[in-house]
Amino acid sequence: MKTLTPKAFASSGFRIVPLPTNVAEEARQAAQSGAADHVVIEVDSANGYPCRHCLRWAQPGERVILFPYAAIPAGHPYSETGPIFVHAERCDRYDATREYPEDFRNGRALRAYDARYNMVDAEVVNEGEPEQVIAKLFQNPKTEFLDARSVTRGCFTFRICRA
């Protein structure tokens, strides 16, 4: 099996899929209407509140919405609902989809899933080289997509699909 270099794979092998804008907007509307499971928080640290829409860390003084999200749909063994953040104010959706987001080069676990949402593999990103892990996980023909998750909290961060 041919091994792809990270640079070669980055230019042709994957696409980052941030949280859809409609989901971020729905969270903002739910928070404004007082939904109990959509909490507005004022950020107090530079690396504790990753926005899943713009894929950057919210900065102290910014407000974010904490709400439940299911990256894997209900009805599958690996479905789960977990907490995620989006900026309380509108932000631009991450659009450098052929580049791994700089803010998340460390502290992520990548979980590989097949087309039926079954986990087929998982690996922690170490030393800031996620492209190598992505290339390795996509070498398995069963891998349909990857989910990037926080190593410490386990929360969904973004999806990675084949290009």
Look at residue 77 in the predicted model and tell me its pLDDT: 96
User: Domain limits at 50?
Assistant: 6-162
* 1 found inside a domain: no
Look at residue 4 in the predicted model and tell me its pLDDT: 43
Tell me how far apart the alpha carbons of residues 97 and 14 are, in angstroms, rounded to a whole number.
8
* 75 found inside a domain: yes
Q: Is the pLDDT of residue 29 over 50?
A: yes
* 48 found inside a domain: yes
Q: Which tens digit of pLDDT belongs to each residue from 72-115?
A: 999 999 999 999 999 999 999 999 999 999 999 999 999 999 99
Question: Confidence class of residue 12 from pLDDT cuts 50, 70 and 90?
Answer: low
What residues contact residue 43 under an 8 Å CB cut-off, 6+ apart? 49, 58, 59, 60, 61, 62, 63, 64
Mean pLDDT value across residues 38-44: 98
Task: Report residue 137 CA to chain centroid gap.
Answer: 16
Strands 39-42 and 63-69: antiparallel
Tell me how far apart the alpha carbons of residues 62 and 4 are, in angstroms, rounded to a whole number.
40
Q: What is the pTM of this model?
A: 0.91
Mean pLDDT value across residues 124-152: 94
* 135 found inside a domain: yes
Tell me how far apart the alpha carbons of residues 163 and 161 are, in angstroms, rounded to a whole number.
6
Q: Tell me the pLDDT of the chain averaged across its residues.
A: 93
Q: Is the pLDDT of residue 7 over 70?
A: no
As for how many domains the chain has, the answer is 1
Q: Scanning the structure block, which residue is given the tokens 């087929």? A: 120
Tell me how far apart the alpha carbons of residues 36 and 104 are, in angstroms, rounded to a whole number.
29
Q: Which tens digit of pLDDT belongs to each residue from 44-61?
A: 999 999 999 999 999 999
* 80 found inside a domain: yes
Across 78-110, b (16+ Cβ under 10 Å) vs e yields: eeeeeebbbbbeebebbeebeebbebbeebbbb
Q: Is the pLDDT of residue 11 over 70?
A: no
